[in-house]
Amino acid sequence: MAEQVFHVPNITCGHCVATIKNELSEIKGVKSVDGDPGTKNVSVVWDSPATKEQILALLKEINYPAD
């Protein structure tokens, strides 16, 4: 199991976090997603078959790219 905190500068509110949670939860293997609009951080816990690359690609696709 892997866990990482991603900094996502485009987060401005709770709705942004909810969108990210909904989208990332669709990836098979993603166990949990939590976000904080104040710090603009998203914490993701995942297991195989999900990958960090998939998570980063989806964040970019939904206009919340991580830096």
Sheet holding 2-7, edge to edge: 2-7, 41-46, 30-36
H or E segment to which residue 52 belongs: helix 52-61
In the predicted model, what is the mean pLDDT of the chain? 97
Percent pLDDT > 70 in the chain is 100
Give the tens place of pLDDT for each residue, 15-27.
999 999 999 999 9
CA 26/CA 67 separation, integer angstroms = 22
Which residue type occupies 37?
Answer: P
pLDDT digits (tens, 9 = 90+) for 37-52: 999 999 999 999 999 9
Phi, psi of 32 (to 5 degrees): -155, 150
Q: What is the Cα gyration radius of the chain?
A: 11
The number of C-alpha atoms within 13 Å of 61 and in the hemisphere containing its C-beta is 8
**pTM listed for this prediction:** 0.94
